[in-house]
């Protein structure tokens, strides 16, 4: 690890106020909140103390890059940067942090070489100090939207270079941050590199005080495909046989009625049709099964250790870490979160594994990604169940998958320059004495 010089610049008034208030209010509340979440099953029993800065793994030798993303999709996308960065700097180890239990469990099944995962510590002085003292990162990379002021400032105070990658900020997010513009202005000026996904985000960041924002697009297309257990995939393929299959991926409650109505129409055309529903929250599996029963459809649940038999019309994939299975099985996928203010999920996971991309009208979280797919005629918007059912049966839908995969290949090339810049921010190990 490298010793960093400590910059002298003190926090401005807004940041100083945040640091003071968080130091008083958060430490007494943090353990109570975490224990309540633990009781509700929202924290891992053996790892919840990571959020208080207590590491559960040793620091590896050599340069260490700490990358943070808040949730499941963003964490999986970081694998693209990890792979390209370590191709340039094989001596670098990577620590990935996130905040959600789902992100930890799914990443465990898709962990790149040279990586380990911890939960991001809460933004308290003690948790930050314990985290930074243990891991002593040589570079801190914040991805997309999440930015914790206390941790950011304390890393900068230690002289750890800061970078932000894949930044995306729509108008609503900008308005929220603009209310604390002086705080963000102080933080953004401490970054050595800020990379945005699109020009709109770059403009928002500039208005908040960020300097020299570059636009590199999304790095999600370059992420490695989601993994799948070969034995499980073979068993499912044998069980499904030649049945026509489609997927409703990462669904939320507003998505499932649309998918089930479309499936009913598909069954009218082909009684062998099978819909796989993979809810964003697998704990909702039993609720979805009841909705299927009320709709007169036969449903089976993955969480019951079942595989779809000949009578299954809906297969509920209510497990963590198996999305790589479902995208490999389905030639077409409806992307969840696109029928409501959730505003969509990552379409590139489908593209990487050859599934044609269908979606609803709400895609603000991935506006640039869906725009790129539509520009290449590699995705289709559907507004209701009849349109979804028609798209699933249309011959041209199958050709979209190939065009999306071509965009994936180009996405790998786009992030090479960004990875070169990140590699230059990581100090090299000193040459051994002879």
- Flag whether 7 is in a domain: no
In 220-315, where does DSSP find H-type helix?
230-240, 255-269, 285-294
* 4 in any annotated domain: no
- 432 belongs to a structural domain: no
* Mutual angle of helices 199-207 and 171-178, in 10-degree steps: 10
∠ Cα 263 267 271 (to 5°)? 145
> What does the longest C-alpha to C-alpha distance in the chain come to?
77
Q: Quick one: 206 and 284 in the same domain?
A: no
433: in domain:
no
CATH code, domain with 280: 3.40.50.2000
Beta strand ranges found along 59-188 (DSSP E): 64-68, 93-98, 115-119, 139-143, 162-167
Number of domains in the chain: 2
Residue 198 in any domain: the answer is yes
The contacts of residue 103 (CB under 8 Å, 6+ apart) are 69, 70, 71, 72, 74, 75
Residues 322 and 376 in one domain: yes
Do 295 and 213 fall into the same domain? no
- 430 occurs within a structural domain: no
Cβ-proximal residues to 31 (8 Å cutoff; 6+ apart), any chain? 52
If asked whether residues 194 and 307 sit together in one domain, one would say no
CA-to-CA dists, residue 22 to 18, 31, 330, angstroms: 6, 14, 47
Specify the pTM. 0.80
Asked if residue 220 and residue 81 are part of one domain, the reply reads: yes
Residues 159 and 280 in one domain: no
Please state, in angstroms and as integers, the Cα–Cα distance from residue 321 to each residue in 31, 199, 242, 348, following that order: 28, 33, 25, 16
What's the domain range around 112?
13-27+37-224+414-424
Inside any domain, residue 103: yes
| Shared-domain flag, residues 200 and 256 | no
Quote the pLDDT of residue 317. Answer: 98
Q: Distance between CA atoms of 271 and 361, rounded to whole angstroms?
A: 29
Residues 308, 215 share a domain: no
The answer to whether 65 and 93 are in contact (CB under 8 A) is yes
Instruction: Report the C-alpha gap between 156 and 47 in whole angstroms.
Output: 27
Residues 248 and 344 in one domain: yes
Q: Which residues are catalytic?
A: 74
200/334 same-domain check: no
Q: What is the mean pLDDT of each run of 10 residues along the chain (434 residues)?
A: 57 92 89 92 94 97 95 87 92 96 90 95 96 98 90 95 93 92 94 94 95 89 91 97 97 97 97 98 96 96 95 96 96 97 94 96 91 95 97 92 88 81 84 43
Residue 189: count of CB within 10 angstroms of its CB:
13
Residues 252 and 356 in one domain: yes
Residue 222 is classified by DSSP as G
Give a yes or no: residue 350 inside a domain. Answer: yes
Q: Does 246 lie in the same domain as 196?
A: no
d(CA 93, CA 114): 5
């Amino acid at each position: 690890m490298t010793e960093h010089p400590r910059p002298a610049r003190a926090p401005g008034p807004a940041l100083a106020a945040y640091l003071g208030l968080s130091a008083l209010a958060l430490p007494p509340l943090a353990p109570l909140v975490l224990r309540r979440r633990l009781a509700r099953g929202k924290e891992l029993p053996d790892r919840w103390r990571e959020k208080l800065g207590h590491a559960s793994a040793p620091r590896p030798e050599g340069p260490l890059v700490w990358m943070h993303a808040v949730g499941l999709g963003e964490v999986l996308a970081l694998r693209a940067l990890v792979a390209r960065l370590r191709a340039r700097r094989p001596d670098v180890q990577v620590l990935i942090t996130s905040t959600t239990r789902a992100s930890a469990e799914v990443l465990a099944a898709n962990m790149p070489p040279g990586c380990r995962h911890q939960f991001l510590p809460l933004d308290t002085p003690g948790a930050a100090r314990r985290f930074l003292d243990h891991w002593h990162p040589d570079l801190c990379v914040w991805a997309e939207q999440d930015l914790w002021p206390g941790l950011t400032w304390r890393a900068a105070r230690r002289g750890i270079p800061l970078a932000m990658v894949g930044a995306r900020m729509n108008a609503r997010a900008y308005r929220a941050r603009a209310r604390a513009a002086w705080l963000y202005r102080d933080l953004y000026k401490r970054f050595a590199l800020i990379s945005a996904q699109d020009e709109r985000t770059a403009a928002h960041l500039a208005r908040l005080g960020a300097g020299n924002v570059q636009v590199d697009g999304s790095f999600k297309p370059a992420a490695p495909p989601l993994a799948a257990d070969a034995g499980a995939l073979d068993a499912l393929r044998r069980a499904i046989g030649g049945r026509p299959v489609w997927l409703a991926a990462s669904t939320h409650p507003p998505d499932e009625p649309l998918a089930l109505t479309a499936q009913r129409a598909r069954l009218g055309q082909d009684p062998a049709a099978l819909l796989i529903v993979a809810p964003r929250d697998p704990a909702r599996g039993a609720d979805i099964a009841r909705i299927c029963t009320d709709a007169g459809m036969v449903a089976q649940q993955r969480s019951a250790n079942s595989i779809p038999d000949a009578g299954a019309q809906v297969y509920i994939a209510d497990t963590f870490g198996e999305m790589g299975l479902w995208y490999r099985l389905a030639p077409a996928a409806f992307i969840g979160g696109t029928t409501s203010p959730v505003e969509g999920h990552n379409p590139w996971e489908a593209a990487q594994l050859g599934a044609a991309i269908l979606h609803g009208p709400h895609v603000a979280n991935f506006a640039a990604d869906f725009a790129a797919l539509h520009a290449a005629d590699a995705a289709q918007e559907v507004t209701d169940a009849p349109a979804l059912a028609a798209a699933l049966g249309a011959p041209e839908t199958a050709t979209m998958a190939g065009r999306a995969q071509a965009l994936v290949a180009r996405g790998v090339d786009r992030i090479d320059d960004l990875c070169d810049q990140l590699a230059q921010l990581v100090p090299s190990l000193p040459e051994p004495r002879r």
